[in-house]
Amino acid sequence: MRAIGLSGVILAGVLAASPATAQVDPAGAARTFAEAKAICERDGGVLWGHTLCGPILLVEPQTRDIIANQADAEGRLKPSGATYVGRLPDGELIANTSVKWSGVLWSQLLWPLPEDTEARQVMLAHEMFHRVQTTLGMVRDDGDNGHLDTLEGRYLLQLEWRALAKALTATAPRQRREAIGDALLFRQERYRLFPKAAVAEGALEANEGVAEYTGVKLGLTTPQARTAFAVRDLSAFVGAPSFVRSFAYATGPAYGLLLDRADPDWKRKVTSGARFDTVLAAALKVPAPDFASLTKRVALYDVGGVLRTSEDAREAARLARAAEMKARLVDGPVLLLPLKAAGYQFNPQTLMALAPHGTVYPTVRLSGPWGVLEVKSGGALFDKTRGMAAVSAPSLDAAYPTGEGWTLTLKPGWSIQPGARPGDYMVVANQP
């Protein structure tokens, strides 16, 4: 899996639990660099009109040891055969991501990489694309996809995934077109129920869905392998606790491969701001959605209502969990930290929408001008509208800022002061 968020930068790669310590061995690193080079040279810059070849940084997350395929601009890495080695300083974010460090924009990957060849090659191409994504003008401001943690949002998304899988595997054009129509119907119903969803989903699909499509398209070498991997992506996230950040990794390859068939010019249109679904609908001249047929079409993809029953049970549990999180992170006393110019590592499969207050990150590492917050349990609430993160702080010693499941390391020039609400605290810059 592959995803991370960082303020102001679109990154890729799902940062799940850190793997066990495994030293980055030079031979394995050299094979990885050769594999990445083969992928980008095989493309030759054709897919996006820009080569994906470039700096790669392999990082062992526990020791922070690194091996790179080239020198950095500040001389922090030391030559070691055909590679360069060193240690990533404390405070620098570690994730499968695009990162600017020591004067170089790198594709950074956690070691060890997947043993599965296809998964590894898709990841490599995905991350190499992220490094050039800003250059291509394909970065969007992520929206709030909290609707994908609701009963109807989740249900309609999974129906769309099932229809996309049917379209990808269809052997006849008529069957493919019908399944695409169903996928677009389920999506349009979601947008009808959640008016802000189209913009928010489109942004994340531009940021991560396009990257995952690129990973599948360039990391794999045959149409059959690409289709199989895209279908696998459409089912790989079903068991995830949340779809809020992970859904685009499933929809991106599916829509991208279908668009390869339907509209050879689709990349230019998506780069210019169009969404996958609108470009595909226009290319195939799909009529406006017939919402009166929704019940009938749903029955084809949820035989016997098994999926609906499962989602009903999940929703009851989610509401109970949301009430608990609201009591801890909204109603109770909290410590507030600015999100401006902050970067954060997280597992996008676990995020929980807490409308209208923001999104709960059950575990997260937040790094900002003020220092580093490590949340191992208990969660942090991110309210991007207010530009603040909050952790539960029923009692707090400003000199030793820790709480249940979290620790805070402040940089010089910052301190903890009482917040605007009685019982709250806030990290603020000291007055000169």
164 and 295 inside one domain: yes
**Domain final residue, candidates 239, 271, 301:** 301
Q: Where are the alpha helices (DSSP H) in 18-172?
A: 26-43, 117-133, 151-169
Look at the alpha carbons of 96, 98, 99, 104 in this order and tell me if their dihedral is positive or negative. positive
153 and 89 inside one domain: no
206: in domain: yes
307: in domain: no
DSSP structure class, residue 209: I
**Domain final residue, candidates 275, 301, 327:** 301
**Domain final residue, candidates 69, 102, 133:** 133
227 and 294 inside one domain: yes
74: in domain: yes
Look up the domain containing 367 and give its range.
Answer: 316-429
Q: What radius of gyration, in Å, describes the C-alpha atoms of the chain?
A: 22
245 and 326 inside one domain: no
289 and 159 inside one domain: yes
**Burial 411-422, CB ≥16 within 10 A → b, else e:** eeebbbeebeee
Cβ neighbours of residue 232 under 8 Å, at least 6 residues apart?
none
- Kind and range of the H or E run holding 418: strand 414-418
162: in domain: yes
Q: Give a three-class secondary structure readout of 226-290.
A: HHHHHHHHHHHCCCCCCCCCCHHHHHHHHHHHHHHHHCCCHHHHHHCCCCHHHHHHHHHCCCCCC
* Tokens 């392998």 belong to residue: 225
Q: Are 366 and 389 in contact (CB under 8 A)?
A: yes
240: in domain: yes
308: in domain: no
What beta strand segments (E) does 291-379 contain?
334-338, 343-346, 352-354, 358-361, 364-368, 371-375
Q: Please choose, from the candidates 70, 201, 207, 203, the residue with its C-alpha nearest in 3D space to the C-alpha of residue 134.
A: 207
List the chain pLDDT tens, one digit each, 432 residues.
Answer: 333 333 222 233 333 333 344 578 899 999 999 999 999 999 999 999 999 999 999 999 989 999 999 999 999 999 999 999 999 998 788 889 899 999 999 999 999 999 999 999 999 999 999 999 999 988 888 778 989 999 999 999 999 999 999 999 999 999 999 999 999 999 999 999 999 999 999 999 999 999 999 999 999 999 999 999 999 999 998 988 889 989 999 999 999 999 999 999 999 999 999 999 999 999 999 999 999 999 999 999 999 999 999 999 999 998 999 999 999 999 999 999 999 988 888 887 788 889 889 999 999 999 999 999 999 999 999 998 899 999 999 988 877 889 989 999 999 999 999 999 999 999 999 987
- Kind and range of the H or E run holding 225: helix 223-236
170 and 296 inside one domain: yes
309: in domain: no
CA distance 210 to 5: 16
DSSP calls for 35-60: HHHHHHHHHTTTTTSS-----EEEE-
Three-state DSSP state, 4? coil
Three-state DSSP state, 296? helix
Q: Please choose, from the candidates 255, 249, 254, the residue with its C-alpha nearest in 3D space to the C-alpha of residue 96.
A: 249
128 and 250 inside one domain: no
275 and 328 inside one domain: no
33: in domain: yes
Q: Are 377 and 362 in contact (CB under 8 A)?
A: yes
CA distance 432 to 52: 46
Q: Please choose, from the candidates 248, 51, 38, 216, the residue with its C-alpha nearest in 3D space to the C-alpha of residue 131.
A: 51
| Count: domains in the chain | 3
CA distance 114 to 121: 9
125 and 257 inside one domain: no
* Tokens 């929809």 belong to residue: 251
Q: Are 46 and 5 in contact (CB under 8 A)?
A: no
18 and 74 inside one domain: yes
